[in-house]
Structure formats: structure tokens, C-alpha cells
Chains A and B, each alone.
Chain A
Amino acid sequence: MPKKQVILIAEDDAEALDTMQGILEARDYKVLRAADGLEAVQMTKAQAPGLIIMDIMMPRLDGVEACRMIKSTPEGKKIPILMLTAKEQVGDADKAFEAGADEYVQKPIDWNKLLPQIKKILE
């Protein structure tokens, strides 16, 4: 039996995180939870997930900063980061890419699109 693939989700809205975790676990991914950017950075260091899905706006340390910090380490560079942006904030995608994010997905998440995207990244 192949080892479960690990996805770290950084999202300050616990409700949203629950939903995401539920959907991903139903598809046999192992989910790590981080409530803000700082937790995400610390957990990445300790657990080295296969993919990080990160909300761009979070307390303490936002997604852009967290992404920049993770991508500044050799280990972190290898981990793909998928940034969740709000559809109204036009410049967010640029900010995400500047910080080193590999992909961005607009909120609200369309899972029909996101799930294949995740699958592709983790292959």
C-alpha cells in the first residue's frame, strides 16, 4: 500500500479548513493543519509536506511572507505551494508569484478544478 501523500493547509478560518480537510481526506490525502503563516513555516520545517495550500491573508504572518520564508530554504524550495487568493484582489496573484508560489487558486474554491490540479502537482 503506497504511503499517503501529505498536504499542509494554512488557513485561519477553521470552518474553511475543516471543509478542505474533509474533502482531501475523503480522497486519501493526509492533511496537516496550520492556523496562520507562522505555524505553516514551522510545520513545514518539521514535517516536509508534499504540497502546501496556503491562504494569502492570515493573521500573524500572511501567506505571501510565509511563502517567501519557506521558499528561501533549500528544502522549502522543493515543496510546491498553492496560494489561495480572493477574486476581488486583483494584484494578489502577482504577489503570490513574486513570493515564490507555484500556483494560485481563487477563492471560493472550485473543487472540480482544484482536485485535478492537486493530483497533477503531487504526481
Chain B
Amino acid sequence: MTDKKKGNRGFILIVDDDSGICELEAQRLKPLGLGIRLAASAEEAADILKAETPELMLLDYSLPDANALELLNRLREDAIEVPPFLIVTGRGDETVAVEVMKSGASDYIIKNTDFLENLLPATRKALEKSALLRELEATQAALRDSEAKQRALFEDANVAIFIADTETKKILDVNNLAVTMTGRTREELTGMNMALLHPQEQSEYYERQFREHVEGKHASSDSVIVRKDGTRIHVQINATVLKIGGRNVIQELFTDITERKRAAMALLKTNLKLEASMRRANELAAQAELANNAKSEFLANMSHEIRTPLNGIIGMTGMLLDTKLDRDQWRYAEIVRASGETLLSLINDILDFSKIDAGKLDLETIDFELSRLLDDFSAVLSVQARAKGLELSCAVDPNVPKLLRGDPGRLHQILTNLTGNAVKFTTVGGVSVRVSAVEKSENEVLLRFVVRDTGIGIPKDKIGMIFEKFCQADASVSRQYGGTGLGLAISKQLAELMGGEIGVESEAGQGSEFWFTARLGVRAGEAETKPRLVKTDKQITGLFAGRKARILVAEDNITNQQVALGILKKLGLHAEAVANGTEVLKALEIIPYDLVLMDVQMPVMDGLEAARRIREQGFAGADGELPIIAMTAHAMRGDRERCLEAGMNDYVSKPVSPHALVEALEKWLPKEVNPERERTKPAPVFDRAGMTARLMNDEALIRKVGAGFLEDIPRRISALRGSVAAGDAKAAELQAHTIKAASANVGGERLRAVAFEMEKAAKSGDLEAVKTHLAGLEAQFERLKQAMLK
């Protein structure tokens, strides 16, 4: 319509053989503002239509050369576009009217009296209708166009698309790639169940996946499809649920991820291989570590095995020397003892060296006083020096701090080594030791120790190698002076471990000056002024004679038993011996011992276990806990901690020296022992009398408390177990405390003792120790329960 208002080329073709009518019609249609063309015959009309298409054709039914229908047929045959048209017929030709309408006419007009009146409205209506039709057609064309584009997108998409019914899973439509991907024809696919695309063994998985897609739980998932030829493809599925034509369909987009998967698998395989080799490497490392540990273990064991008999030799020789001997006998025995001691120091050297070599030697960090250390050291060395007629002097510069932190044992070792060498290689003159501070800060000091002698000196060409292992300046030297040649090498390593250095200045025949430095911690505070006296052999004889203490020695080696008993006898103490932990416990049940000297390594039940049981059962000493002193031949660090953890109070290292034993006994042996004391009866499992008295002999109350206790404690034990497992020391402490209090309340003394041990351990944060008592706790509860139910 808009076209015509612009006065475009649109026109109306009037086909009628009556020129008068034509004129009248043209006249009437003028208001439409369209051009009018006239054709007087079918042929003339066909000619015009061949060239141009009018907006509308007014077609008289009866034409001279053909009727309207014939013209329309002819136009169609000749593929001439038929414009929208109105048929004009004579009056009463109703049957014709029906026929023309069927042929596509917009309307028909009857040539009656109102004909001219009706013409304009009818034409207008026809024009409007045709315009509408044209628009509709254009829209449809556009739609068709867009649909085709959609389809093309669908077909040529680079993912395979399957559209299927959500209920039946039947495929409704697929695109080209779906056909290629599955290796099936479009016909095969259409109507096929989606599930059949997937391997049979995965049908359950796929069913679930499909449901989840339909329910919208997952939009995407990985799956496998089987092509028609049986090959498999990994696909990633992206699903969308659509509503088409009132029914739910699912659109699944399959992306081939076989390559991606393959790459991932390859990567995974590489990673697995890598992991395997890492594991292998770790295993090898672990094996190496194990082998190294085994070596250290072997050395520790060997040292133990050698030292045990050696302990016997040295100890018994010492005892022998205390008896009445003639001069020759005394000389022989003295040689045996000296050889034994040399052998012992050799073994210690070798063990030390191998430990340092394996990086197993950890330095201690403990508080010590330098003056005390030097006293100890010079007391021993001066005896040796005096024996050779040499003078040993020891001087400390005033700027050297008195209170230090570090490893006094190892410091002592270096000093003894250097000074011992100095004494050994000097025949005339003396040996001097001097200590000075090289660097000093508030918390730290670098001390320099210088040991000067007037001995044989070291030839220049040998100086460079004397700190090497197994080296003495001259092979003949070792024959003359003895020694492993490890001493200086160990000293060097120890000095370095202490952050220092070692060195020597010497000229053959002019004496030597050995020095080393060590970095040590400095403590604030006053040094103890009271001098400590090292007792002589004479002084310790009968030292404890006044005390009527009873001591139990647990030691499986008969010789070592005799050594320990001999030393104790010399000290004036009465002692008895048993051979293992089980015997210790039995003996304690019978005799109220005041102290136990316990070997760590024993058959049947070792010293650690025995100590734990003694603590669990709550054996008492003269005042409080029964003191237990470990005798340990182990040179490995950590033994001391293990002994203390097991509940022992102290330790002395084997071979047991009278002096070490005196120190320990002075500390732990009760000052006053009541000889009337009844046997150190271990705490009773169930002190019924005590409980009865505390609860005022109220039988009903006693029963109620007892029953409540027996019901409550298993819960508490399992709660405690839980806290230990969870690493909650605070909770464990509280639980152990509650168990302790509840046990005490019913007179469960042994259970109380174990719970108390656990409470203490938990309080110090040592959950490992708490753990070791768990089994004992349960065992004691069972015993108590039996006793209470009796």
C-alpha cells in the first residue's frame, strides 16, 4: 500500500471486451490513485502480464477468445505470474463464481445494478488482501530463510548434536557430525534410544547421567560412545532441556575429547612413572638410611657387647687390687686394669668417631660452670702428670664468663685429649692449660683453650696431617706411645661441631702448643662459690656405712652384678641382685628396698618395662617414690631420655665407676631409712576398708558409689584414649585427673597411681608417655573391677 501512495508504478489491469464498461470502471477506480491499463482480450491480457505484473487484475469472465479460467490456465502453463485478481461475471452465474474462487480469485463481482457502486470497495478490499498476503509471504520467506540458516548451523556445527525425547530417550534429530561421529546413518539414528550409543557395561552410569541432565543437576559430563564399527570415542556431553511443540526434549552436544583424554592419560602415565621412580628413589634412600642406621646400631651394640665384659674385667680387677696381694700379683693386676681402661677408651673413641662420621652425634646444651669442669679435668690429668714428674697448671683469664651453656662432656673430652697427649709426649718440664675469651657478647662467647707442653714436638712436614684420622706423626710413635690416632681427629670434629677450630704450633724438639676454640652460650647469674670436692678412693670407702638402706641390683651379667655389689659393699651398703625385670617386681613385693639399680638391657623383662611397672604399681620408697637408677651401657643419645620417660630417676653409665655411683646415691638414697619399715607393699588394687571408712560405713552409699564408678570409668578411659589420639594434652590431663580422683574415691590405689602418672605426663605435654600407660590403665581397671565385684 505504501508503495502506491508514493505514486509508484503499480497499476490495475482491466480485462474486458466491452470498452464502455472499461471506461466506467477506470473512472470509478481513479480514487485509488493507481494507473489503469486495459486489455480487450485474453491474448492482449497475457501479453501485458508477460511483461509486467499489476497490483490487481479485474477480469471479466467471458472474453471473446477465452473465458477467465482458460486464461488463468494458459498463464500458469506459460509460467506467467498471476497477479491477485477479481472476477467480474454476469448476473446469476453463481456456479461460475464458485469455480473462479477455486482458481484463486480474491473475490468476484456481479455485473448487476450496484456493480459500479460496489466496484471501488471490492477492489480496495482485494488490494488490501493481496498486500497482506504479500507481507505474509515475505515474512514466511524470511522465516524460511532463518530456518535454513538455523538448520545449516545445526547441521554444520562442530559438535555432534542429538535431540531426543526426555521420556523415551528416542532420538528425534541429529546433525551431520552426529552421523559422522557415530558412524551410523541418519535413518539408523532417528528413533534410536540414546542409551544404545554408549557401551553396554556403562548403561547404568549413562542412565544416571541422562537423568541428571534431564533434571538439570549437571549440564555437562564425560562419557564414552561406541561407534558402529565398535571403536570407542570419549565425549564430553553438554545437555540442555528444551520445550519444543509442547514436549520436553533434551539437546545433547557431544564433543570428541578422545585426543584430550589420550593426552591426559599419557600425562598420567608419565606422572605415574615419575611417581614410581620417586618411590623407588625414596625406597633406596630409606634402605640406605636403614643400612646406615643398622651400622650405627651395630656399633652401639658392639660397644655394649664389648663394654659389658670389659666392665667386668676393670671392675673385678679394681676389687682385686683392694685385696691383699703380694707385689707381683699387684703389678699384674694393675697391668690388667690399665689395659682394660686403655681398651675401653679405644672403644669409646671408635664409637665416637663413627657417630660423628655418621652425623649422629648431637651436642647437648646444658648449663655448666667452667671452673667445675676444669677442676674435674685437672684432677684426673694431674695424677697422670705427677706420675711422670711433670707439672700441670691450669689458668683462666679473668674475662672468661663463669656460667656457660653448651656440652661440657664434649669440651672435657677435647681438653682431656689434648692434655693427655701433651702429658704422654712430654718427659721433662710441664704442661700448661690456658683459657681466654676471644669474642664476647651478651649471650655468647668464643673461648680459646691453649695446651702447651715441653715435649718432643712435631716435625714441620707432619703438622699438616696430625688431625687426620688414624694418623700419628710417626708410625714408631704409636708403638712407643700407644693410641689409636683417633683422638685428634675426634677433637677436631668436636671443636668444629662447637663452632670452633683446632690447630697446633710446634717445632720438633721444642714442644707443642695445641689450641682450639669453641662457641658457647653465656648465662647471667652468680657462680656457685662452694667448691665441690672430689672424693678419693679412701674417702668413699664405707661412705654410706651408717645408712641401713637396702638396695636391689638388677643385672643379668653375673660379673657386672658382682662389680656393682662389690662397689656397693665398699661404700658400706647392703645389696642383693636379681637378673631381670620380672624378678625385680617379685623381689619388691617381698622386701622393702630403698633403691633399685637397674640395668637397661635384660632378658625376660628389660629395665625400661620394669621401671614402668614399678611406677604403675606405685611401689614406694622410704620417702615417696621408690628411686630407680638406670645403669646404661648404651652410648647412644636418647637412652637417658628413654630411662627417665620410663619413670627412672637417674642414670649412671657403664662401666659403673664408684664415683659416678656415689654421686647418684648421694642424690637418691634416702637420708634416713627406717629399718622397721614393713615391706614396700605396693598400693593395693582395692582398698575396701579405706573406702568404707570414708563413706561412713554406709553400705547403700558404698554400693551406689561403687556401681557408678564401674559404669563411669570405661567411658572416661575411652574419652582419654580419644584425647590422646587427637593430640589434645589439655583434655587428656583433665581426664586422667578425673580418673585419678574417682579411683582414689573408691580406694582403687593402683588405678589411681597409673592415672596420676598419666596426668603428670599429659601436663608436661608428653602424650607419647600417656599413650604407653593406656594399656596399663585398662588392665588396672579390670583388676580393680574384679576386686570390687568380689
Contacts and interface: CB of A to CB of B under 8 A. Distances in A.
Contacts of B704: 19, 22
Nearest to A87: B744
Interface in B658-695: 690-691, 693-695
A72 B712 CA distance: 36
A86 B701 contact: no
Interface stretch (A37-45, A73-81, A108-116): A108-116
Nearest to B697: A112
A116 to B, nearest CB: 11
Contacts of B744: 86-87, 107-108
Interface string B302-339: 00000000000000000000000000000000000000
A58 to B, nearest CB: 8
B696 A16 contact: no
Interface stretch (B49-57, B95-103, B370-378, B734-742): B734-742
Contacts of A107: 741, 744-745
A39 to B, nearest CB: 16
B705 interface: yes
A106 B744 CA distance: 10
A108 B745 contact: yes
A98 interface: no
B511 interface: no
A13 interface: yes
A88 interface: yes
| Most interface-central of A13, A22, A110, A112 (chain B CB within 10 A) | A13
A13 B715 CA distance: 12
A65 interface: no
Contacts of B694: 108-112
Contacts of A57: 734, 737
B709 interface: yes
B61 interface: no
Contacts of B408: none
Interface in B333-350: none
A123 interface: no
* Range, interface on chain A: 20 to 34
A111 B696 contact: yes
Contact of A18 (B690, B693, B708): B708
A115 B704 CA distance: 19
A86 B745 contact: no
Contacts of A12: 734, 738
Contact of B734 (A59, A87, A110): A59
B695 A13 contact: no
A23 interface: yes
B705 A108 contact: no
A18 B691 CA distance: 17
Contacts of B566: none
Contacts of B701: 19, 22-23
Contacts of B740: 86, 88
B756 interface: yes
B392 to A, nearest CB: 48
A59 B731 CA distance: 9
Contact of A112 (B696, B708, B712, B741): B696
Contact of B741 (A13, A23, A59, A115): A13
A16 B741 contact: yes
Contacts of A110: 693-694
B747 interface: yes
A13 B693 contact: no
Contact of A86 (B709, B741, B746, B747): B741
Interface string A10-44: 00110110110011000000000000000000000
11 contacts: A12-B734, A13-B742, A15-B708, A22-B701, A23-B701, A57-B734, A107-B745, A108-B694, A108-B747, A109-B694, A111-B694
Given A15-B709, A15-B742, A112-B694, 20 more contacts: A12-B734, A13-B738, A13-B741, A15-B708, A15-B712, A16-B745, A18-B708, A19-B708, A57-B737, A86-B737, A86-B741, A87-B744, A88-B740, A88-B756, A107-B744, A108-B690, A108-B744, A109-B745, A111-B695, A115-B696
Interface of A: 12-13, 15-16, 18-19, 22-23, 55, 57, 59, 86-88, 107-112, 115
